[in-house]
Structure 1
Amino acid sequence: MTRPIIVALDFATKEEAVQFLHSFSEPLFVKVGMELYYQEGPSVVRKLKALGHAVFLDLKLHDIPNTVYSAMKGLAKLGVDMVNVHAAGGIEMMQAAKRGLEDGLAEGSELPKLIAVTQLTSSSEELVRSEQKSELSLRDSVLHYAKLAQTAGLDGVVCSSLEADMLRENIGDDFLLVTPGIRLTEGNHHDQKRVATPNLAKQLGSSYIVVGRTITQDKNPVAAYRSVQNDWERD
């Protein structure tokens, strides 16, 4: 998984997603989230893998450890490259998720990267304080969840790019930081509050950036992808 740009396939049907991907001449790293997976099920993952794309299955599992274990054991059979849980589920749940992936993996297959969501990029300081009733600040909450994920043996976390530098300083360089909320300078923030450009995300320490509507809703998605790619790669 050397491609740092993950394209979020925020489509309602498999046909729409595949049609979109036909515009590209090379395989991509793509994200299948709840909207697409809940409509199409495992078949969409199998189709994308058959087309040569790497897949981040973004279902954010959060349940009791036994349920998450069983779910991950089933998902491991799909051959996804990355999958996630909510860190708020706790260390025991995250460890159960990892065991499920290991136990469900087909012989000879590579273990998917397992990461945990810290705080959604739509979360604000006010939400964390007033609705989650956290005694921690937003940044401290992200760090706390990231440390839980590291203790549980996960490969990394989902966080905002704006917290990536803090996590790099406190957790190190080997921990994957997957950062949504990526916009080009002139882009719309949509419903995400903690956003960054591709280049800023890279400078702050992101391992992978997740880009959706900036690419998928552009009139020329290939050109938009190249713009994101060029911004990531510039010094």
Structure 2
Amino acid sequence: MDNKIVVVPLDFPDAASALAMAARLDPRLCRVKVGKELFVAAGPAVVEQLHQRGFEVFLDLKFHDIPNTVAGACKSAARLGVWMMNVHASGGEAMLRAAREAVASVTKPPLLIGVTILTSLDDESIARVGFSGSVRENVERLARLTKECGLDGVVCSAQEAPWVRAAAGTSFTLVTPGIRLATDAKGDQVRTVTPAEAVKLGADYLVIGRPITRATDPVAVLEGIRRELGLSQEAA
């Protein structure tokens, strides 16, 4: 198990708030995620500031557009030196292959993963936007497509990890949001599990936001999660 299996999303409206949270975390014990809210507010500079503090960054911008546009965006993002980035698998085969080629063109390519079905959606929700079949069927189909196009893995609910493993194999990287502690409310996530459950189901990386970032003592919560997962409390 990767010692930095936990990825903490810095979902803040400005760089100062995000960097203040990052200052409370140890980059040897976790990675961080920069999403749309922070990236739009602070731009690429916040990624560089996090790198300077020793953090590996998951750039979570979920690109979804025509192939040429996504390829250009992916190349620019990869040049930032991020550890991981993502695109929507529902963008289709041509878009996924273009993204893969663009990322592969940089000196040190990041992991490139596809987003299957957002963890805020259930069977009824995807039917209302025109998807046929269940969440499970769509996750499996998109995971297979993502692997066929040469991407490194997918974002999915940990509940779906066994299905994805069956569809795409054991070497596929699974990044799982929707992680909540046993005492937490689900918030806007529909398909949630605890950290230990997620690992047991086959998750490789756990995106754990609110339980850590909204805690009075984020460090203590992170340490508790690491104990639950049997990880060393000493920085590697």
* TM-score of the aligned structures, taking structure 2 as reference length: 0.93
Distance 1:9 1:207, change over 3 A: same
2:27, 2:56 within 8 Å by CA — same for their partners in 1?
A: no
Distance 1:66 1:86, change over 3 A: same
Match of residue 126 from structure 1: 124
Q: How many residues align?
A: 229
Q: Which SS does the other structure have where 2:13 is aligned?
A: coil
The 2-side partners of 1:205 and 1:3 are apart by: 16
Match of residue 13 from structure 1: 14
By how many angstroms is 1:26 displaced? 4.2
By how many angstroms is 1:16 displaced? 1.0
Q: Which SS does the other structure have where 2:229 is aligned?
A: helix
By how many angstroms is 1:24 displaced? 2.7
Match of residue 213 from structure 1: 210
5 Å-filtered alignment, 1:93-112, equals 93-103=95-105, 105=106, 107=107, 110-112=108-110
By how many angstroms is 1:12 displaced? 1.1
Paired-residue identity, %: 43
The 2-side partners of 1:34 and 1:22 are apart by: 21
Match of residue 234 from structure 2: none
Q: Which SS does the other structure have where 1:58 is aligned?
A: strand
Match of residue 82 from structure 1: 84
* 2:225 is aligned with 1:225: no
* 2:179 is aligned with 1:182: yes
* 2:54 is aligned with 1:52: yes
5 Å-filtered alignment, 1:156-195, equals 156-195=153-192
Q: Which SS does the other structure have where 1:83 is aligned?
A: strand
By how many angstroms is 1:25 displaced? 4.0
Q: Which SS does the other structure have where 1:99 is aligned?
A: helix
Match of residue 92 from structure 1: 94
Q: Which SS does the other structure have where 2:151 is aligned?
A: coil
Which of 194, 198, 210 aligns to 2:195? It is 198
2:56, 2:82 within 8 Å by CA — same for their partners in 1?
A: yes
Find runs of 4+ consecutive structure 1 residues off by over 3 angstroms.
none
1:199, 1:233 within 8 Å by CA — same for their partners in 2?
A: no
1:31, 1:57 within 8 Å by CA — same for their partners in 2?
A: yes
By how many angstroms is 1:231 displaced? 2.2
Which of 22, 36, 39 aligns to 2:38? It is 36
The 2-side partners of 1:24 and 1:157 are apart by: 26
RMSD between aligned alpha carbons?
Answer: 1.3
Which of 69, 72, 93 aligns to 2:71? It is 69
Which blocks of at least 5 consecutive residues in structure 2 are unaligned?
Answer: 232-236
* TM-score of the aligned structures, taking structure 1 as reference length: 0.94
By how many angstroms is 1:163 displaced? 0.3
By how many angstroms is 1:17 displaced? 1.3
By how many angstroms is 1:134 displaced? 2.3
Q: Which SS does the other structure have where 2:79 is aligned?
A: helix
Distance 1:2 1:92, change over 3 A: farther
1:125, 1:137 within 8 Å by CA — same for their partners in 2?
A: yes
- More displaced 10-residue stretch of structure 1: 170-179 or 52-61: 170-179
- Residue-by-residue CA offset, 1:79-130 (whole Å, 9 max, x unaligned): 0000000000011101111111122x2x4xx21000000000000111122x
What one-letter code is carried by the residue in structure 2 that aligns with 1:29? R
By how many angstroms is 1:170 displaced? 2.5
